[in-house]
Amino acid sequence: HSGIFPQFFRGEDPDATHLNQFYHVECELLGDMDNAISIAEGYLAHLTKSMLKKHSDIILKIAGTLSHATAMLNKLDGKTPLPRIPLDQAIPMMPSADCLEWVQDGQAQFGQKLTRKGERVLIEKYGGAVWLTEMEHLGVPFYQAYVEGTELRKAKAADLLIGLGETVGLGERHSTPEMVQEALRHHAVPEKSYKWYIDMRQVKPLLTSGWGMGTERYLCWLLQHDDIRDIHIIPRMKGMKFMP
């Protein structure tokens, strides 16, 4: 199933890549991470093709080019999967310290993640689009599955980096209640808060995956714009009142 609905960043300050409230396309489906990536890439191709067919004049006027969109379609229409790189391989490619940050401030044992600058380094290196995979598990939501053989360290997750950076967040889920409980303990999340989720996996263990695409971030890529705060129709930012 899938849906489009607003989400909220209740505590974060807005910046060039974050809105307090944004629109999300979400998809939850049977199958593993590879299947989810294939569906997400198919959706991205279909949406971009439709946008070019209906609005190419507007896109060209704002972005000054259509080459980024046609290049993406050439890859995806040719059934060429977008490149993927695990985080551990991406880290040595970073040119400066400000491309990386700790998953938990100052605690090296929990590993590192890319900053927005680091994401843009990868985007440029891979010609406009790349999936970043196998992030540190404590840097993603608990419900993402673990990569086998990594001692609960790495997540079976992938972020599609285009435009401003992460635009699609994707992951395979835990398929059994025991796996969910193990991840909750790992992330120090109270089990009672997710009893319904554990029960759901108890009733019907399933291998599922899911992804979400930030609509405004996708539009930033499509329009080649560098500040997401210009994209929403009605401004929705913390601590500020706007009249429609």
State pLDDT tens for residues 170-222.
999 999 999 999 999 999 999 999 999 999 999 998 999 999 999 999 999 99
Q: How many domains does the chain have?
A: 1
Kindly report which listed range (61-75, 119-133, 221-235) carries the lowest average pLDDT score. Answer: 221-235
Kindly report which listed range (81-85, 123-127, 237-241) carries the lowest average pLDDT score. Answer: 237-241
Looking at the predicted structure, is the pLDDT value of residue 2 above 50?
no
pLDDT category at 116 given cuts 50, 70, 90 is: very high
The mean pLDDT of 72-84, rounded to a whole number, is 89
Looking at the predicted structure, is the pLDDT value of residue 86 above 60?
yes
Residue 40 makes CB contacts below 8 A (sequence gap 6+) with 27, 160, 168, 170, 211, 213
Average pLDDT taken over every residue of the chain: 90
The answer to whether residue 163 sits within a structural domain is yes
The answer to whether residue 151 sits within a structural domain is yes
For 127-145, the pLDDT digits (tens) are: 999 999 999 999 999 999 9
Can you give the residue range of the structural domain that contains 140?
2-230
| Total residue length of the chain | 244
The answer to whether residue 243 sits within a structural domain is no
The answer to whether residue 112 sits within a structural domain is yes
Task: Give pLDDT, residue 23.
Answer: 81
The answer to whether residue 238 sits within a structural domain is no
Distance between CA atoms of residues 165 and 143, nearest Å = 22
Residue 153 makes CB contacts below 8 A (sequence gap 6+) with 111, 136, 137, 146, 147
The answer to whether residue 236 sits within a structural domain is no
Task: Give pLDDT, residue 244.
Answer: 56
Rg for the chain, CA atoms, rounded = 19
Full-model pTM: 0.91
In this structure, what CATH number is given to the domain that contains residue 142? 3.30.930.10
Decide the pairing of beta strands 84-86 and 130-133: parallel
For 3-32, the pLDDT digits (tens) are: 555 454 556 777 888 777 778 899 999 999
Q: Which residue has the tokens 């999936």?
A: 131
Phi, psi of 200 (to 5 degrees): -60, -45
